[in-house]
Chains A and B, each alone.
Chain A
Amino acid sequence: MAKVDLNRVSMPKQEPEVRAGNFNEVALGYNAEQALYEANRCIQCPKKLCVGGCPVDVDIPDFINAIREGDMPEAVRILKGKNSLPGICGRVCPQETQCEEVCSLGKKGAPIAIGRLERYVADWELAQGEMEKPQIAKATGKRVAVIGSGPAGLTAAADLAKMGHQVTLFEALHVAGGVLMYGIPEFRLPKRVVQTEVDYVKSMGVDLRLDFVVGKTMTIDEILKDGYDAVFMGTGAGLPMFLNIPGENFNGIYSANEFLTRTNLMKAYLFPEYDTPIKRGRRVMVIGGGNVAMDSARCALRLGADEVYIVYRRSEVELPARREEVENAQEEGIIFKFLTNPKRFIGNDQGWVVGAECYEMELGEPDESGRRRPITKEGSEFMLDVDTVVIALGTTPNPLVPTTTKGLDVTKRGTVVADEKEGKTTKPGVWAGGDVVTGAATVISAMGAGKRAAASIDEYLGQQGG
């Protein structure tokens, strides 16, 4: 056997100077030759550690083998057998901490680029134009309401439909997809990819009801009374957190949710062709260190900012964002200000933000999260002149559904109480999963929760009889 190349095939990308000025996808994807070369690096080890690293148990060595053998339809089938949203996961999953982290090759060199191969397979299918329809079981006559069309809801809806249940998917916004549509930007996850996956779920007979705010248009109790046999709640963690420091409501200060929603969902970068405006700041400060902060900063840059700062209170090693996205941001010229925390915002007489007074920070002992606790250096205040601020501190679940649903317990953090294995909540007939249970997490963990809940709901409906 030929010696294994210890380096992975690098991802073709738009050049940093070019991409910083457009919203097109940054990573261009492997071509057939690159995919084959990368697939051939897989040693098909018997341990299959990668499968264990995948939250939805994709048969990774098998789909890679299908690529090697040139049997792309088979690769699609294997992948989609476990993951109905491969085009999305291939692009945004943190493979480096999941399947790729445990890859046997990783001990000697670079692990197989599983995510890139997954995307390659999904894109191949998309390019064929026609999707293979999944097998739908005989109709059971049971009705299930799925609330929220993010990855958790889409996965649960798809699985339940395949099992033969009649599924209605309720979504508050005017498009389906959740964070995949309103949060993650076009240049990282093209909306046509999400739309294709949503259409695929609809093709299984799922009835999508947009513009439907559960808790307002109808409560869960009313939905249950309306003849639904079970409810799955995948409403995400959509409530933005603010810093609660002086000056936070000045004009020009956005939550990341608003900034990204205007930009991605409402397409404000195409204003005035699209009607929703956004402030195109020149000096933008983004507060936070996760994927949301990286996405906000890179959107601000593409909207035409001269300087974009990411202000993070810990140091580079603690950044929770995916490594790949941090590197992309750095290449594009985003300026990182580590160990920095805002104290207050300064405004002008028109109510517009003109600056932020910040503290320098230092790292102390590890806290509950295991990361070293940031400590304010007293007397270290300095000013940063900015005209736009984006606060990307994280999100918690929106209380709209819990507060209107009798018997649904929530934790102190506002997350819905549900058992991890099956997603059962404290209310009979109601399941929950995804960010609404875990707090802001990942696409794949939300999908995993949707899958497990679907199986549990199916079992419950089976016991109920017809």
Chain B
Amino acid sequence: MLYKIMSRETLVPNNHLFKVEAPAVARKARAGQFVVIMIDEKGERIPLTIADWDREEGSITIVFMEVGVTTRKLAQLKAGDSIANFIGPLGEPSHIEKFGTVVCVGGGVGVAPIFPIARALKEAGNKIISIIGARSKDLLFWEDRVREVSDSLTVTTDDGSYGRKALVTEPLKELLEGAEKIDRVVAIGPAIMMKFCAKTTEPFAVPTIVSLNPIMVDGTGMCGCCRVEVGGETKFTCVDGPDFDGHLVDWDLLFARQRIYIDEEKHAMECACGEVASHG
């Protein structure tokens, strides 16, 4: 089966948005879930979070950052092209209920997955305080979309080129120290950012949910590649998560396991670049 790219857009350099025709996935998609895609029969299976969906149109929106061979190849596809395999919705949906006041933190490409969660939490009656961050202004996207579903929004950049010059953990800490009671924090972004968000909230004992991103293969609980340790127990991220209690995650294990194929990935990039060069 082929899954057509209905439209595409480069949000900021190296970060792209695809709307893909996948009616069966769109029918069931919920905030916090992901898809596994394979570009062609020689491709790798990689997970990407569902950033949005349109049940009537039968479409799923994904936002991804170019980091290696697969995401690079994906970025080269045009509207009208197809992806060979698009599987989902996978993983447990995020826990949505009325908690009270929820802080939603999105970093880098993590702004895309935080959006549907913030929206669902907002619809459930929560007050949403959002913090989104990027390295610099030209890498920031979806400020408008996140603002729309938030009661307040703080934007940070590492270099101060836009919004506040800070890491997302600084405004987060201030909120926790402030007068308003914070009932829950949801943080999505690079693993290192999620770790520091969890470290920031820990002394305040505010439940903190993170969405883990280990390496995966099937995404259905069949291989154990995605195992992480949470509260001393081994979990399969693809079926038990991807959302977990950030205070209980063994972050060093996650970091180590994300690096398993670092040599192979480098080698593949060199080969792929060589190919591009020799083919014109």
Contact = CB atoms under 8 A, between A and B. Distances in A.
Interface of A: 172-174, 209-213, 216-218, 238-240, 242, 244, 248-252, 254-255, 257-258, 261-262, 266-267, 271-277, 279, 350-352, 398-400
A399 B92 CA distance: 14
Contacts of A400: 220-221, 239
17 contacts: A209-B1, A211-B85, A217-B24, A217-B25, A218-B24, A244-B234, A249-B228, A251-B259, A258-B223, A271-B268, A275-B42, A275-B43, A275-B69, A277-B44, A279-B260, A398-B222, A400-B220
Q: Which of A212, A251, A277 has the most CB of B within 10 A?
A: A277
B185 interface: no
Contacts of B38: 174
B28 A261 contact: no
A274 B42 contact: yes
Given A251-B257, A258-B224, A275-B70, A216 B90 contact: yes
Closest 9 CB pairs of A and B: A351-B256, A277-B264, A258-B223, A275-B44, A255-B224, A174-B85, A211-B87, A238-B222, A277-B261
Given A261-B217, A262-B217, A272-B272, 15 more contacts: A172-B87, A213-B220, A217-B88, A218-B28, A238-B220, A238-B221, A239-B221, A251-B259, A251-B260, A255-B225, A257-B224, A258-B223, A266-B45, A277-B264, A351-B253
B90 A249 contact: no
A-side interface mostly: loop
Q: Which of B89, B227, B253 has the most CB of A within 10 A?
A: B227
B229 interface: yes
Interface string B253-280: 1001101110011011001100000000
B-side interface mostly: mixed
B183 interface: no
A312 to B, nearest CB: 21
Q: Which of B90, B228, B252 has the most CB of A within 10 A?
A: B90
B267 to A, nearest CB: 6
B252 A273 contact: no
B193 to A, nearest CB: 20
Interface string B225-265: 10111000010000100000000000011001101110011
A238 to B, nearest CB: 4
B218 interface: yes
Interface string B83-106: 011111110000000000000000
B222 A240 contact: yes
A218 B24 CA distance: 8
B116 to A, nearest CB: 17
Given A248-B234, A351-B256, A212 B24 contact: yes
A352 B44 CA distance: 23
Contact of A351 (B84, B88, B90, B252): B252
A242 B224 contact: yes
Q: Which of A238, A275, A400 has the most CB of B within 10 A?
A: A275
Q: Which of A240, A244, A273 has the most CB of B within 10 A?
A: A240
Contacts of A216: 28, 88-90, 220
Nearest to B89: A216
Given A216-B89, A242-B234, A351-B253, A257 B223 contact: yes
Nearest to A262: B217
Contacts of B70: 275
Contact of B223 (A211, A261, A350): A261
A144 to B, nearest CB: 19
A216 B218 CA distance: 13
A254 B217 CA distance: 12
Contacts of B257: 249, 251, 351
B7 to A, nearest CB: 21
